[in-house]
Amino acid sequence: MLKPAAMTDQTPDPLPPGAPAEPPADAKISAARSVAFDLLRAVLAKNTPLDEALVAHDGMNWLPDRDRGFARTLVATTLRRLGHVDRLIDGCLAQPLPLKASAVRDVLRIAATELLVLKVAPHAAVDSAVNLVRSRGHEKFAKLTNAVLRRLDREARDTIDTLPALDALPDWLARNWRATYGDETAEAMAAAVQREPVLDITVKADPDHWAETLGATVLQTGTLRRPIEGRIDALPGFDEGAWWVQDAAAALPVRLLGDVAGKTVVDLCAAPGGKTAQLAAGAAHVIAVDRAARRVKRMQENLARLQLAATCVTADAAKWRPPSPVDAVLLDAPCSATGTIRRHPDIPWLKGEGDVAKLVVLQDRLLDAAVAMVKPGGTVVFCTCSLESAEGAERIAALLARTPGLRRVPITADEIGGLSQSITADGDLRTRPDHLADSGGIDGFYACRLVKD
Strands 326-332 and 224-226: unpaired
Residues 6 or more apart whose Cβ sits within 8 Å of residue 73: 118
How many Å is the Cα radius of gyration of the chain? 24
Listing DSSP states for 254-281 in one string gives: GGGG---TT-EEEEET-TT-HHHHHHHH
Residues 6 or more apart whose Cβ sits within 8 Å of residue 55: none
In Å, what is the CA distance from 63 to each residue of 20, 69, 313? 10, 9, 38
Q: Which residue in the list 92, 269, 385, 448 is annotated as catalytic?
A: 385
Query: Rounded CA gap, 15 and 231, in Å?
Result: 26
Residues 6 or more apart whose Cβ sits within 8 Å of residue 422: 416, 429, 430, 431, 432, 435
Query: Rounded CA gap, 222 and 200, in Å?
Result: 10
- Residue 385 annotated among the catalytic residues of the structure: yes
In Å, what is the CA distance from 363 to each residue of 202, 271, 334, 384, 403? 27, 16, 7, 9, 15
Residues serving a catalytic function are: 385
